[in-house]
Chain A
Amino acid sequence: MATDAAKNKSSDDPVLQWVTFRLDGETYGINVMQVQEVLRYSEIAPVPGAPSYVLGIINLRGNVVTVIDTRHRFNLSSGEITDNTRIVIIETDRHVIGILVDSVAEVVYLRQSEMEIAPNVGNEESAKFIQGVCHKNNELLILIDLNKLLTSEEWSELEDV
């Protein structure tokens, strides 16, 4: 009986794992299921004519992966490359890209009920990237919806890159 109740609760309020990373002093989370791997910073080859949010490309075991300037995408000020800088390889809608972050922190477990819808005030397009917020370990996590990180037109642009 107790097991059934626990199962019901689990299905009603699923636990999701989020990879957290730091960017401009704040902590962000992305769904662990969309993270392929985390790389140390390596040289990124710039691509002439690429969109402004594209830093360039890297060679990942023979595959070319486009790296996105996450700070630029989130309208944050640009930062310096440090020893903690990482490239997170993510997979969304059959596309594989890398996002540059200041550092990768940990994997946290969050219940669906712990997530809170974030406000959307203003006219910035980037606000739609935010899936929600959650208070965990005495800090606020900003949860990112990677599927909305780029529009379909922008994905097409990346394919051309």
Chain B
Amino acid sequence: MTKQKDSGDSIKPPDDSLNNYFDDLLGGEDLLEQAFNAMDERPMPVAAGAGSARVVALPTKKNLDEKPKKPVLRAEPTSKLAPQAMATFAEPEAIQSLEQKRKLEKLLQSARTELLVDVPVATQVSTETKTQFVSDPDEIQEWDVEGLIDEVLTVGANSEVPIVAEQTQHEDIPQAGHFQIQGLEWLENGRPQWAQSRFDVLLFKVSGLTLAVPLISLGQIQPLTDELTPLFGQADWFMGFQPTAAGKIRTVNTAKFVMPERYDPHFLETAKYVMSINGVPWGLAVDSVNQPITLMPEDVKWRGDRSKRPWLAGTVKDHMCALLDIPRIGQILIEADKNFTP
């Protein structure tokens, strides 16, 4: 902090300042006032453009639509192709005699037929391209399909449909003994699955801190009542069961869960609502619920290293709030429950 004041020209970008602010607030390493003072003292240049400047340039849907322009059957064999594959898909001009050309055409034809109907080939492709192809084609983040995979997809254009379908089937099969709630995945562009395009969030307050959660991950909002029943022998962040018309919500003491170092027991008196998480019987206790807002992915400073606070998706500078990764929180909660059965 002192170092930043001393060097006048080493002004941190606003995004970093906000991140530091939340690090200070949630991590408990520095005083909150220091973070606020530092932000007040520093000028905030080009605030509007700062967020977009950090966005990694990635292929868009438009790029994907232009994909047919990309040469798919290369004239020159690349080093990434296996020798056998290169022979199969070699350019006809490279063949000298008519006899060889006929044989090659025959080979090509048989290869095409096999690729279109042979299931094992499709299975192999789906396995190798899993990170590139998800159930929604619009969510493709990179188009770096090269070599044999690229050529197989091009030769058997119809094979794209069974590949996606088969892959979806694999993703739907839950792994034995490990239950995962929906929306947990973060894609290669450093954003969660639910924030690939414009998304709505709900702002709420917990012990004075403004937090945001994606609406898509929320269940219902219920008032906390006297019927909230604690259970003995549980973690200190478990407030108890809140009976509602829709069932019993296992209520989390959000203040203690999110910022245990700065926990104020007064929260037990100020908490008025519980927001249930979609897909799990858990909910977050909050002080007050504000209005929902719409965010673009660029509005959020997404967290790169999420090992320290995996439930924190990022920070929203415009609203001075932390964006919670609700699916991750849900996953943490069900994994913490030794009695959980899917």
Question: A140 touching B241 by the CB < 8 A rule?
Answer: yes
Query: Are A76 and B232 CB-contacts (below 8 A) given A116-B248, A120-B339?
Result: yes
In the complex, which residues of chain A have a beta carbon less than 8 angstroms from the beta carbon of B338? Answer: 120-121, 127
Q: Total A-B pairs in contact (CB under 8 Å)?
A: 72
Q: Which of B171-179, B223-231, B318-326 is the interface stretch?
A: B223-231
Chain B min CB distance to A148 (Å): 11
Does B6 sit within 8 A of A, measured CB to CB? no
Question: B233 touching A119 by the CB < 8 A rule?
Answer: no
Question: B235 touching A122 by the CB < 8 A rule?
Answer: yes
In the complex, which residues of chain B have a beta carbon less than 8 angstroms from the beta carbon of A74? Answer: 232-233
Chain A min CB distance to B335 (Å): 10
B339 to A, closest residue via Cβ: A120
Chain B min CB distance to A27 (Å): 8
Q: Within the complex, which residue of A75, A126, A139 is in contact with B227, where a contact is CB–CB below 8 Å?
A: A139
**Interface membership of chain A positions 135-153, coded 1 if the CB is closer than 8 angstroms to chain B and 0 otherwise:** 1001110100000000000
Question: A118 touching B339 by the CB < 8 A rule?
Answer: yes
A140 to B, closest residue via Cβ: B229
In the complex, which residues of chain B have a beta carbon less than 8 angstroms from the beta carbon of A133? Answer: 229, 231, 241, 248
Question: B341 touching A117 by the CB < 8 A rule?
Answer: yes
Does B21 sit within 8 A of A, measured CB to CB? no
Which of A119, A128, A133 is the most central at the interface, judged by chain B CB atoms within 10 Å of its CB? A119
Number of chain B interface residues as a range: 20 to 34
Does A19 sit within 8 A of B, measured CB to CB? no
Question: B241 touching A129 by the CB < 8 A rule?
Answer: no
Question: A75 touching B339 by the CB < 8 A rule?
Answer: no
Question: B339 touching A122 by the CB < 8 A rule?
Answer: no
**Interface membership of chain B positions 147-160, coded 1 if the CB is closer than 8 angstroms to chain A and 0 otherwise:** 00000000000000
In the bound complex, how far is the Cα of B235 from the Cα of A121, in angstroms? Answer: 5
In the bound complex, how far is the Cα of B250 from the Cα of A120, in angstroms? Answer: 11
Does A12 sit within 8 A of B, measured CB to CB? no
In the complex, which residues of chain A have a beta carbon less than 8 angstroms from the beta carbon of B340? Answer: 119
**Interface membership of chain B positions 233-277, coded 1 if the CB is closer than 8 angstroms to chain A and 0 otherwise:** 111111001010000101000000000000000000000000000
**Interface membership of chain A positions 26-62, coded 1 if the CB is closer than 8 angstroms to chain B and 0 otherwise:** 1000000000000000000000000000000000000
In the complex, which residues of chain B have a beta carbon less than 8 angstroms from the beta carbon of A124? Answer: 232-234
Chain A min CB distance to B173 (Å): 25
Does B46 sit within 8 A of A, measured CB to CB? no
Chain B min CB distance to A105 (Å): 15
Question: B232 touching A119 by the CB < 8 A rule?
Answer: no
Question: A120 touching B243 by the CB < 8 A rule?
Answer: no
Chain A min CB distance to B229 (Å): 4
Chain B min CB distance to A65 (Å): 24
Chain B min CB distance to A23 (Å): 9
Does A130 sit within 8 A of B, measured CB to CB? yes
Query: Are A121 and B337 CB-contacts (below 8 A) given A140-B229, A140-B241, A142-B231?
Result: yes
In the bound complex, how far is the Cα of B243 from the Cα of A139, in angstroms? Answer: 8
Question: A142 touching B229 by the CB < 8 A rule?
Answer: yes
Does A83 sit within 8 A of B, measured CB to CB? no
Q: Within the complex, which residue of B227, B231, B243 is in contact with A119, where a contact is CB–CB below 8 Å?
A: B231
Chain B min CB distance to A35 (Å): 20
**Interface membership of chain B positions 187-200, coded 1 if the CB is closer than 8 angstroms to chain A and 0 otherwise:** 00000000000000
In the bound complex, how far is the Cα of B232 from the Cα of A75, in angstroms? Answer: 7
- List 27 A–B pairs whose Cβ atoms lie within 8 Å, in order of A's numbering: A74-B232, A75-B232, A119-B231, A119-B234, A119-B238, A119-B250, A119-B337, A120-B233, A120-B338, A121-B237, A121-B333, A122-B233, A122-B234, A122-B238, A123-B235, A124-B233, A124-B234, A126-B233, A127-B231, A127-B233, A130-B232, A133-B248, A135-B243, A135-B248, A140-B227, A140-B243, A140-B248
Q: Top 7 closest A-B pairs, CB basis?
A: A122-B235, A127-B233, A126-B233, A124-B233, A140-B229, A120-B338, A74-B232
Where the two chains meet, the residues of A that have a C-beta atom closer than 8 Å to any C-beta of B are 26, 74-76, 116-130, 133, 135, 138-140, 142
Where the two chains meet, the residues of B that have a C-beta atom closer than 8 Å to any C-beta of A are 227, 229-238, 241, 243, 248, 250, 333, 336-341
